[in-house]
Structure 1
């Protein structure tokens, strides 16, 4: 689509509106759908907004393009996506535009599975059909790759998302569209940030912001996309929470494409800041105001949050029950379920999940870092930690792009790994993690017996084994046995070190969330 075509489309729309004939307006919009959407969205929506409701009902494309359409997302009045099939089309690129509208309509309905199916159909068209018009400067091609990549991102396929969004950027650079390259780069940065490719995400975001500001339908989407990517980058690198201000997310559109990623950034900030009940409320509101399907990134994000909150509050049973609700865990949720297995001491299940994560086609840099940390946790729990594994854990800690990942490991695991590190690596690790607060998951993740917990609770009040034995009505040898096991599980070698750990481990876990019903997800 050359700019001349956009001008022709605008002139045709203006003439149709002057005629006042609804059929003529609808025909013009269908004939010039892409140039009007890409270059004249305000005029297009103004024309659609002037058409009465009964007439709109007969033209699903017009209803989809109505200015109020985004606000209707998630409402009880879902878009009849199938009806778009009956829309009149003009040529192969016209059908491309209709299939793309089907992707968008299904997404606005919250039906990401159907959206992905339409994206698959579009991919078949793009990669198997030779359409000369797509090769023209200003064609719809960049937008096709852009929406296919966006859909793959919502389904958790970050590899496919990066591939398609990179193509959208490359085609957009020469397309003649004033928005194509920046919009594609911004969404590419978001996909890279979710993968944990933080350097690439930063580079893409910087490149996007060096281009002219987005206009038309891309402006609001761009703000949400760039803001989400910025937040996720900052949170991955956050050695302290001062590196990110969550207030920047408050103005982003909650019903747009980026709502799951805005939610992810907000709950991560709350969890890292030790505010689990805030994270729970953020996730619960998001789930209640959006349709969420199993096997999608939104479901992964929300369920991961619920499990993390329950673990931070010491409510392991609730965390386990939450994990059982999901039938198709994605990559983000699998790593959280592995953490849950480790907390409850099911090392065999954790090991199986780690193998599943490592062999999956969507393995990413951040999942590799998580595998390293979780494997070390498993080895510490089994008392099989090796120097090589401890060194790999140190290397993750030395990478500034994975501070969040390292912080999610319990302190007692990090301390045990530290003692197994070679001296040169340990010194660098200590410097890199100085002042870092590790995960506080409560005493349950230590797998203490009832007797060991009694000894741990009495430890601050008695200096000598004999005094502990007398207070607990146990023999000194029994107390020594409990202390030996306790020190081993804590990863310490003395009473003083155990007392240093006791404050964050044996604590008031705060209010229970067991009575709060979680919003259901759809299959």
Structure 2
């Protein structure tokens, strides 16, 4: 904050690595970690380090579960949900967000909306995401410029980039990047570049790219380098653009951020089609469409589908799965039971009674057309 991102990033990384390497056997260390891991995880996003982010977000949930910390578990679950979205695991993200909501409702706490907002945005749910954004903006509990409101702006940037509403995406992303919290601006910068390029604001795109490039050089992670390369390609032409897209695909392939990898194939394919290279475009767009469809990022998948049809190829339809009929909470319970957990064990993890779990199981069996836990273990889960 005082000397600039490049000066602060190495020290921030050392701090996050210390959290990662802390032993889990020391009860006092566990207690301290539980109080600080939420901040450590957010700063892993600030330096765009996907490995640290995954480790810290997962550990935060693990420690909160082990301690039975109902006050902190919903926030930890929400953060892991957002992490899962970026990793392309949208079904898993929905289960975690639903669990956080259930626990908060049971304990009478304040509901955190940002996990549902970001999940809805990546899914392309315009009505649901817009309604959540509006309710967050109106809620006096969330001041303008606060984390919840800025996270809502990030969600709106993703939503509108997916839907192709680039003017609205640019406005939302610009507000996200104004945040002094580095995790929010780091997440918002690639959204701002894409929206500015598509909305015809090259100077604003160049400024955002310069900042993103600087952060990527300071951190050197595949996630950061991949996002910077993709953003550089979006602002470039000719061989420079192609080199950028290829670099972005290579870097993001080596990261956990599958959702951003899929979007990189999408914008690369869009560029190739506009260059008149239809066969090359098909390869990228087909990959993007398949990845985005499978993860449930429907608006981005629809974008890939439209581009693919423009090349003369009809995109494949998503294969309906039996588990599609389940709610996020039911899917979460089914997944746990399929691992062999008893109703009591599942109830203890989700802070529900065994009787409630059994009631959910009856609904799950009915929806799936099965009658036993053995059949549940044989199902394929998203």
SS class of match (1:163)? helix
Report Cα offsets for 1:32-53 as digits up to 9, x if no partner: xxxxxxxxxxxxxxxxxxxxxx
Runs of 4+ with deviation above 6 angstroms: 109-113
Larger Rg: 1
> Do structure 1's residue 186 and structure 2's residue 78 form an aligned pair?
yes
Matching residue of 1:291: 180
Residue segments in structure 1 that go unaligned for 5+ positions in a row: 1-105, 432-523
Report Cα offsets for 1:15-38 as digits up to 9, x if no partner: xxxxxxxxxxxxxxxxxxxxxxxx
Shift of 1:247: 0.9
Distance in 2 of aligned mates of 1:111 and 1:213: 39
SS class of match (1:211)? helix
1:154 alignment partner, one of 46, 49, 52: 46
Q: TM-score of the superposition, structure 1-length normalised?
A: 0.48
Matching residue of 2:301: 406
- Give the RMSD, CA atoms, in angstroms: 4.2
Shift of 1:158: 3.3
1:196 alignment partner, one of 72, 85, 88: 88
Matching residue of 1:24: none
Provide closer, same or farther for how the CA distance between residues 339 and 262 of structure 1 changes in structure 2, counting only shifts above 3 A: same
Provide closer, same or farther for how the CA distance between residues 389 and 214 of structure 1 changes in structure 2, counting only shifts above 3 A: same
- The structure, 1 or 2, with the larger RCO (C-alpha pairs under 8 Å, 6+ apart) is 2
- Equivalent pair of 2:84/2:90 in contact (CA under 8 Å): yes
SS class of match (2:154)? helix
2:238 alignment partner, one of 336, 346, 353: 346
Distance in 1 of aligned mates of 2:82 and 2:205: 29
- Equivalent pair of 2:74/2:101 in contact (CA under 8 Å): yes
SS class of match (1:428)? coil
Report Cα offsets for 1:80-107 as digits up to 9, x if no partner: xxxxxxxxxxxxxxxxxxxxxxxxxx79
Distance in 1 of aligned mates of 2:226 and 2:251: 12
Residues 195-204 or 116-125, more deviating: 116-125
- Equivalent pair of 1:152/1:161 in contact (CA under 8 Å): yes
Distance in 2 of aligned mates of 1:297 and 1:323: 16
Distance in 1 of aligned mates of 2:20 and 2:232: 42
Residue segments in structure 2 that go unaligned for 5+ positions in a row: 217-222, 321-382
Shift of 1:147: 3.2
Shift of 1:116: 7.5
Matching residue of 1:428: 317
Provide closer, same or farther for how the CA distance between residues 149 and 325 of structure 1 changes in structure 2, counting only shifts above 3 A: closer
Matching residue of 2:196: 310
Distance in 1 of aligned mates of 2:128 and 2:35: 34
Shift of 1:188: 1.0
Distance in 1 of aligned mates of 2:210 and 2:34: 40
Matching residue of 1:121: 15
Distance in 1 of aligned mates of 2:174 and 2:257: 28
Shift of 1:199: 1.4
Provide closer, same or farther for how the CA distance between residues 325 and 133 of structure 1 changes in structure 2, counting only shifts above 3 A: closer
Distance in 1 of aligned mates of 2:162 and 2:285: 24
Provide closer, same or farther for how the CA distance between residues 187 and 303 of structure 1 changes in structure 2, counting only shifts above 3 A: closer
Shift of 1:365: 1.6
- Equivalent pair of 1:193/1:201 in contact (CA under 8 Å): yes
2:126 alignment partner, one of 233, 241, 246: 241
Provide closer, same or farther for how the CA distance between residues 155 and 125 of structure 1 changes in structure 2, counting only shifts above 3 A: closer
Matching residue of 1:496: none
1:265 alignment partner, one of 155, 171, 187: 155
Report Cα offsets for 1:261-319 as digits up to 9, x if no partner: 3221123345556654444444444555x336xxx543344433443343333344653
Matching residue of 2:250: 358
Provide closer, same or farther for how the CA distance between residues 180 and 427 of structure 1 changes in structure 2, counting only shifts above 3 A: closer
Shift of 1:129: 6.8
Greater helix share, structure number: 2
SS class of match (2:279)? coil
Report Cα offsets for 1:412-433 as digits up to 9, x if no partner: x43344x245xxxx4637x9xx
Residues 121-130 or 259-268, more deviating: 121-130
Aligned length: 305
